[in-house]
Each structure stands twice: as structure tokens, then as C-alpha cells.
Amino acid sequence: MAPRARLERDLHPGAWWLWSLGMATAASRTTNPLLLVLTVAVVAFVVSARRGESPWSKGFGAYLIVGLVIIGVRIVFRMVFDGQQGRHVLFSLPEISLPEAAAGIRIGGAVSLEGVLAALYDGLRLATLLICLGAANVLANPKRLLKSVPSALFEVGVAVTVALTVAPQLVESARRVTRARRLRGDVGRRTHWFRQVVVPIMTDALDRSLLLAAAMDSRGYGRTAGVSRSSRVVTGVLMLTGLTGICVGTYGLLDTTTPRTLGLPMLVVGVVVSACGLAASGSRIKRTRYRPDHWRLPEVGVALSGVVVAAVLYLAASVDPENLNPSLQPLRWPTLPLLAGFGVLLGLAPALIAPPPAAEATP
Amino acid sequence: MIHFDHVTVTYPDADAPTIRDVNLRIPEGELCLVTGHTGVGKSTLLGTINGLVPHFTGGHLQGVVRVDGRDTSTHPPRELADVVGVVSQDPLAGFVTDTVEEELAYGMEQLAIAPEVMRKRVEETLDLLGIAELRSRSLRTLSGGQQQRVAVGSVLTCHPRVLVLDEPTSALDPTAAEDVLAAVTRLVHDLGVTVIIAEHRLERVAQYADRAIHIHRDGTVVDGSPAEILEWSPVAPPVVRLGRIAGWSPVPLSVRDARRLAAPLRERLAGLDAAVAPVSAPAAPGDAAASNAAPAAVEASSVSVHYGKVTAVREIDLRLASGEIVALMGRNGSGKSSLMWALQGSGPRSGGTVMVTGADGVRVDPGSLSAGDARRHVGLVPQTPADLLYLATVAAECAQADRDATQPPGSCAALLARLVGEVDHATHPRDLSEGQRLALVLAIQLTATPATMLLDEPTRGLDYDAKAHLAEVLRELAAEGRAIMVSTHDVEFVATVANRVVVMAQGEIVADGPTAEVVVSSPTFAPQVAKVLAPQRWLTVDQVAAALAATVGP
């Protein structure tokens, strides 16, 4: 077959989110540092291969840095508060003796290799989760997802849009106001700082929010076009209950300590209820999408690769639990489990499946 | 198309209605100009057309507003979105999406227009407004004029029958304003859209209007043809005021009309010299030599300002003499603000030297001074004066200003009284009118007795009266020996107040000279009077009036 040039286009944001949620789910199942680093590498590779040139695409480095900070904070806290478990003592910190009432809490003292490693593994897992979600943010425009907010959640939609638009502008007005403050001359006095800076910024933000909300209103956002108030309330309640159900269900599914009933059943109930809500709000179409992102074969592939990675890690957890959570007592080198490692590598697929991102016209 | 029946709007906590007993019939396809002093309720009148007043703003609306047969009391703004398109003063504040193309489509998405139709309309609108090359640009990176055209386009895609524009050109430079207005008039002529437009600078729109609506200070409203209304209206563009003193009837609305009537006037003025006109001494040309002799308040040499890779100001040499008023002009983004901030010492300066002379006659670099000392040498009123205000009452702001400047209590209040007359000192600064707030900030900055005063776009949102008053204040300050620099897009204001004009482009000074020389020769910066009476060098109506009075009087 003759090679066919693929048209560049933006992938459906939902596909990227499903893929990154899959990667995050996979990462949440393991504390094996080799697997976690592999996951980060896979995610970073896909991001570098498929990110666009839009403003939100430039933030991946920031997520990596935040990840490192998380690991660092985790290790430091562990050293200071709970560093003693384990036989391999690295060094000792001066210990502060606490009164009887605070028995069980220790500050300072011996710091063991086991403690530090446990903190490192744990921090690494948290950082990987964050980086996976950050990747979705970098690959897909967060605002495009907002467009899918059903009209039943009109007020919520306005609030979120206003917040998302006004928040970056806050930075701008903060810069303007702090600069203007010099013009009044009293930079030195700390007591006025709060009032001088915060009051003008907040009034500015309030003004902008009102203007934006008014503009959205006059441009027809949330038109009901004859839908009765009661039916809007019904869909609103359905949607919110459904979303809560999905959140609780996901939490139950990911956290192994919660009762089984909170997991899958709750998730299923949530999905069903939200689907009802969506159907109710969509029963009369009141909005259309301009150049909508289509859900085509590459989207299916990208989403599927995420789901498969998560599934493989679930499978591996029951087949080979030992290697997914390497033992610290006794201390042992972590090894890369074959099945799980192969599973994570499947997450690379989007770098091939996804079409190249649409090029931004040069200004 | 639009019917007002005995409409009265009263806001909560207001003593009197903002607009009262308005009866209007605006037929389809008219371009309708709303005039009146600042704060008389122009925005309120515009807001009632799509129901933002009272649905969004609150307040009580008596009477009936009907747009295309729909009563706004039963239709909130979103249900009128397919009939009425609204463009606000600050387009950036109303943008919901990130890119031009998405913004154009946003309204249509809400109206559930079929995707194929949307695609077609976006392309058509891009061409109609001449913004096709901007389609995938981020909205924040556009210039002011481009943003305003995108804002117009974003409501046009919904094919509204009525377009409401609230001061669409107030933040724009003359050329960008022309672009926007050209786009709007094209819509009226080609598509038959009904346009309601509020604008302070009538010289820009009066000539295009089919009807004028004037709102009196008590909230009552008169409407008629623009020539009828402007014949007596207290707010009138210079060309109309020239027509009044020359006794032309009906008054001309455009430079072209006026020029055709102006031949006899030019003959009468031929022997007279603008310089001898007694009233507006500062606007008189020919004292450039005098200003060179005056001591320098600010001397800048090869000043540069960089932001990252962008050079905002490029090696500028500038000298401001005590007692002169300099107008700083140039399109949006040409580096005017950056230059002012660098001269004041609070803004960044990447290269060059600035020396300012204080009240004590010592020359210092303001950048090396503490903020408190810098403002005793050079005062700056920034583009958004409200940034400097943070206290709850005018009295508290004034007291704080006295303390900051270590002046006796009451100094700032006295200055404020001199600038705008009596202001209720218990008012919150945010409740002041645009002109009063500007005066308050100016008073606060003057309390520190700077020898140089810089004002960044002070004329935004001011009506003719307020601008005339500001001009008077600036002349007084200059007469006291201060050097004044004003950046503005308002050529008519420049003509009345400035002795010297500096024009910037791409961070460099491209013209610097006496007002008459710089503005008369430029097609964009020439005031209307200059265009009407060219090749004679008259700048303002007051000059002409004074010259005529001098010939007739004795």
C-alpha cells in the first residue's frame, strides 16, 4: 500500500483524557520505581511527539518540576517525622522530645534507608499521577472540554468559564497594580500592602467577571428556547448526582482500602444516572458545535491504549503483586516486572496512532 | 424595529430615574447615534435594547421595550441573542474563547445553528471585516482595533437585525477607529443592519448617522436628524461648532460638507493670524524657540525599554521644558506608555539616561530614587487611574495622599476642589464619574508637588465638557512652571492643549515639533478645523471664534 500522508488535526480532547486517565490508573497500582519512571518516560515521549503549539501546550515542564517538588517534600517530611523504621540507619537528626500527650509522634531522630525509600516510592507515584493528568492538559485544550458541559448545568458552566478566563487576567492586573503602587510612593510600608494591592485587583476581577458574564448572556449562552424550568432542574439534579456517583466510584475503585461496594457498583450507577441526565438535557438540541472534534479511529485507538494499560496493570497486580510493590522489609532491589513493563509500553501507541497536531498559523 | 413606549429606568438606591419617559421608534436599517454627557444613561439606554437592563443589572424598568416584536420584559438577553448583537467598550472583557475563529463561532453555537452554516458564515464574516489573516490568532495578541473588529464579527455571525455598539472606538487610535467605523457603515449599507451606537467623539461618527438621540441630564430624550440635534446639542464635534459660529445652517456634519461651505470663511480669516488669537495661548505655534530657552524639567537621552525580546522604546532622546505641554501620539503599542513609565522612574529602563529637575533645581536620575522621592520629581497618572485608589472614601484617599507627601492636611482636598469643584468627600472613589476619578488621582499625584506631570491617556471616556475642563487645568499647571506630557489618541484635544507634539512609531520618535506644524501636515492627526480651513493654519474653533470676534468687535 502506498504511504498516505496523514492530515494533521487536533485529536478529540476526550481521547487524550481517557488515555492519560488510563496511564494514571496504571501508575496508581504500583510503587515500583522502575515502572513509575517508565510511565513518566512514556508519557513524556507521547507529549513531545504530539503536542501542539498553542499556549496551553507549553506547560509540561512545569508539571515535571511540580512532580520533583512533590517527591522532595515527601522525603523531607518522612525524614523529619517518621524516619526510623528499618534497620539500615543512614544518619541521625537531633530529636525533639514531645510530651506524653503526643505519644506516637516523633520529630527528628534516626533516618533509615527504608523510610527514605518508602517516601521516594510514594512520592514518585504521586508525581507520576500528576504528570499523567498534566499531559492531558498539555495535549488537549481544557476549554474545549468545557464546551461539552450540558446546558442543564448553565450556572455552573458560566461560573467555570468566567473563572478560567478571568484567572489569567488576574495575574495581569496584579502586575499592573503592583507597578502602579510605586506611583503612590509608599512602597516601604507593609501595613498598606494588602489593601493597596488586593483591593484594586479584586475590584478589577469583579468588574471583569461581570462584564464577561453579561457578554455571555447577551450572546445567548444558556438559551432555554422554551424548555421549562422544572425540566432543567430535573436534568441538573440528575447530572450532579451522576457526577458525584462517578467521583465516589472512581475513588472506591482506585483506593484498595475502601469497601468493594463503593467501587465498581457506584461507578456504574453514576455513569447511568449521568447518562440519563445527558439524555434529558439533549432531548431538545439547543446548541451546536463549530468544527467539532470528531471521534474517529485514532481517537478509539488512543483511548483504548490507555484503557489497556490500566487493565494490564490490574491483571499484573493479581498475577505478580510482589514486583509491583517492591519489598522494603527486608530491603530488596526492585526488578522490572515483564508483564507490567510491557503493559506500560503500550501507552506509547498514541505517538503513532494520533495524527500530528494542527499547525498554528504564524502570527 | 425597536420601539420604546414610555420607558423609565430607575436603579435601586437611586434618587431619580436614569432615563425617563423615553418614546422612540427606530426603523430598520438606520444608523442611530446616541449622544449626551458622561453618565447621563447612554449605556442604560443601550442596555435596555437587549434586556441586559434590567435582567442583568437590576433596577426597575417601567414601560415597554420591544425589539423585532419581542418584549424585553419577557425575554432575557440570551433569548434576544439572535436579534440583537452587543459590542462593548472593552472587547477583550467580553471574549469567551481563545482564538478568533472560535470566538466568531461562539454565538452561533449557542443559537444551535447547523455546523455547515456556521462554517460558511465564519468564512464570510472573516472576509467582510477584513480579518481573514487573523483567523487562528490568539485573541489576546491582537491590537485594539483588530480586537474590536473581531468583537463586531462575533456578533455578526448570528445575523442579528440590530447591532448595539457602546463606545466602540474610545480606546482606539484614529486609524483603527476608522477601520472599525468603516466596517460598521458597510454593514448598514450592504446588509441593512440597524445600528445603535454611543460615542463620545462625535467627530468620528456624526457624518454617518441617520438619526441622533440626545439624552438630557434629567434623563429625558429627544431624537431627530443629526443636523437638527447637533445644531443645539451641548455635545458637538468641532466641525459643528465651527458651523455654528460661521452661521451655517444646517450645520455641516463632515469635513467634506464643511469645506464646501467654508470658502467665504477662509476669505474672512485670510488676513488674520492664528498666533494673534488671544484666548488659547498654549496652542499658538511659534514658541518652540521659547520652550528651548526654558529650563529642562526632563532630559532623556537614548532611552530604551525591552520586554523580553520585544523592544518597546528604542534609543529615544527627549527634552521636556518647564511650562510646556507636550502631546505624545502614536498608534496603540507604539511605546508611549513604556516611555512614560521609564521617564517617571518606576518602569523598567534597559538603557540610556534620564535626568529630571526637582523643585529645588537639582538634577537627578528618577530611577535611582526611592518611589516616594521619585514622585516628588515626576508624577504619573496611569492609563487606569483606579489602580492607585484603594480606600473607601474620597476623604480617606485625600488624607492618605497628604500623609504620603508630608503635606499639611487638606492640601489634596484643596487641589481636588480646584480641579473639579466640589465633590462629596464621603463618596466611594468607584462611584465617581470618569472625569472626577481622573481628577482625584491627578490631585493625589499633584500633592507631592512634582515639577513634571505625565498623563497616560487621560481623555478616555471624557465628554467634550470634561475634556475642555481638563485642558484648562493642564494649562494652569503648565503656567505654574510644570512640564506636562499627555499621551492621547484624541487629535481635537491635542489641538486645544498642546504646544508641542511628539509622534511615536515602533518605539521611535518619528515627528517632534510645534503642534500646528506636526498635526496640520498629517492626514490622520489633523483636527477637523485644520482640515476645513487648510491651507490656513487654524487648529481649534476657539481660535477661529476669537479671531472673528477681534475683527468684528472694534
Rounded (5°) CA angle B421-B426-B428: 95
pLDDT at position A308: 93
Q: DSSP character for B82? A: T
Interface with chain B: mutation pick from A184, A191, A199, A285, highest number of B CBs within 10 Å: A184
Tell me which residues of chain B have a pLDDT lower than 70: 273-293, 552-554
Q: Any bridge partners for residue B8, and if so which?
A: B62
Contact at CB, B371 and A182, closer than 8 angstroms? yes
Q: Is B345 left (phi over 0), alpha (psi -120 to 50) or beta?
A: left
d(CA B164, CA A363) in angstroms, rounded, equals 30
d(CA B554, CA B547) in angstroms, rounded, equals 12
Contact at CB, A196 and B390, closer than 8 angstroms? yes
Restricting to B residues 436-475, those with a Cβ less than 8 Å away from any Cβ of A are 444-445, 448
3-state helix, strand, coil in chain A (%, to 5): 70, 5, 30
> Minimal Cα–Cα distance from A50 to chain B, Å?
19
d(CA B242, CA B528) in angstroms, rounded, equals 9
Q: Which residue has the higher pLDDT, B161 or A9?
A: B161
Contact at CB, B141 and A216, closer than 8 angstroms? no
**Does A2 score more than 50 pLDDT?**
no
Half-sphere exposure in the Cβ direction for B67 (13 Å, CA): 27
Q: Which residue has the higher pLDDT, A264 or A122?
A: A122
To the question of domain B2-236 being in CATH 3.40.50.300, the answer is yes
| Nearest to A349, CA basis, from A298, A302, A291 | A302
d(CA B197, CA B109) in angstroms, rounded, equals 26
Looking at residue B364, its amino acid is V
Half-sphere exposure in the Cβ direction for B189 (13 Å, CA): 9
Interface with chain B: mutation pick from A183, A186, A291, highest number of B CBs within 10 Å: A183
Interface with chain A: mutation pick from B48, B89, B96, highest number of A CBs within 10 Å: B96
> Minimal Cα–Cα distance from A165 to chain B, Å?
7
pLDDT at position A223: 72
> Minimal Cα–Cα distance from B88 to chain A, Å?
8
Cβ neighbours for A258, distance < 8 A, ≥ 6 positions apart:
A251, A252
Residues in chain B: 554
Q: DSSP character for A84? A: -
Q: Decide if A154 touches B, using CB distance below 8 A.
A: no
**Does A133 score more than 80 pLDDT?**
yes
Looking at residue B537, its amino acid is R
Contact between A203 and B430 under an 8 Å Cβ cutoff? The reply is: yes
Contact at CB, A183 and B108, closer than 8 angstroms? no
Cell of B179: 477601520
Contact between A3 and A289 under an 8 Å Cβ cutoff? The reply is: no
Q: Is B323 left (phi over 0), alpha (psi -120 to 50) or beta?
A: left
> Minimal Cα–Cα distance from B191 to chain A, Å?
20
Cell of B259: 469645506
Using CA atoms, how far residue B494 sits from A213, B468, B489, B502, B542, in Å, is 37, 11, 8, 11, 14
Q: Decide if A1 touches B, using CB distance below 8 A.
A: no
Cell of A172: 495581569
Contact between A49 and A33 under an 8 Å Cβ cutoff? The reply is: no
Phi, psi dihedrals of residue B289, rounded to the nearest 5°:
-60, -40
Give the model confidence (pLDDT) of B382-427 as tens digits.
Answer: 988 888 888 889 999 999 899 888 889 999 999 898 888 788 888 8
- In 3-state terms, what secondary structure has residue A322? helix
> Minimal Cα–Cα distance from B224 to chain A, Å?
28
> Minimal Cα–Cα distance from B442 to chain A, Å?
11
**Does A306 score more than 50 pLDDT?**
yes
Give the model confidence (pLDDT) of A49-79 as tens digits.
Answer: 888 776 667 778 888 999 999 999 999 888 8
Restricting to A residues 287-306, those with a Cβ less than 8 Å away from any Cβ of B are 287-292
Contact between B410 and B330 under an 8 Å Cβ cutoff? The reply is: no
Sign of CA dihedral A175, A177, A183, A186: negative
Residue of B nearest to A213 (CA): B94
pLDDT at position B2: 93
CATH 3.40.50.300 intervals, chain B: 2-236, 294-522
Cell of B200: 463620545
Cell of B144: 485594539
Contact between B184 and B152 under an 8 Å Cβ cutoff? The reply is: yes
pLDDT at position A147: 67
* Per-residue exposure over A266-305, b if at least 16 CB sit within 10 Å of its own CB, e if not: bbebbeebbebbbebbeeeebbbebeebeeeebbebbbbb
Peptide bond into B535 cis (omega under 30): yes
Residue of A nearest to B372 (CA): A185
Q: Decide if A222 touches B, using CB distance below 8 A.
A: yes
Q: Decide if A281 touches B, using CB distance below 8 A.
A: no
Restricting to B residues 387-406, those with a Cβ less than 8 Å away from any Cβ of A are 387-391, 401, 404-405
| B294-522, CATH topology level | Rossmann fold (3.40.50)
> Could you tell me whether strands B31-35 and B310-321 are parallel, antiparallel, or unpaired per DSSP bridges?
unpaired
pLDDT at position B97: 84
pLDDT at position A362: 41
d(CA B473, CA A46) in angstroms, rounded, equals 63
pLDDT at position A3: 44
Which residue bears the cell 447577551? A218
Q: Decide if A196 touches B, using CB distance below 8 A.
A: yes
Q: Which residue has the higher pLDDT, A193 or B349?
A: B349
| Nearest to B106, CA basis, from A291, A151, A285 | A291
> Which chain A residues are Cβ-neighbours of B119 within 8 angstroms?
290-291
pLDDT at position A115: 84
Rounded (5°) CA angle B406-B387-B414: 40
Cβ neighbours for B81, distance < 8 A, ≥ 6 positions apart:
A218, A219, A220, A223, B50, B107, B110, B111, B158, B160
Task: Find the CB nearest B88 among A187, A215, A286.
Answer: A215
Contact between A27 and A41 under an 8 Å Cβ cutoff? The reply is: no
Q: DSSP character for A148? A: T
Q: Looking at the predicted complex, does its ipTM rise above 0.85?
A: no
Q: Which residue has the higher pLDDT, A160 or B489?
A: B489
Hey, how many other C-beta atoms are within 10 angstroms of the C-beta on A233?
11
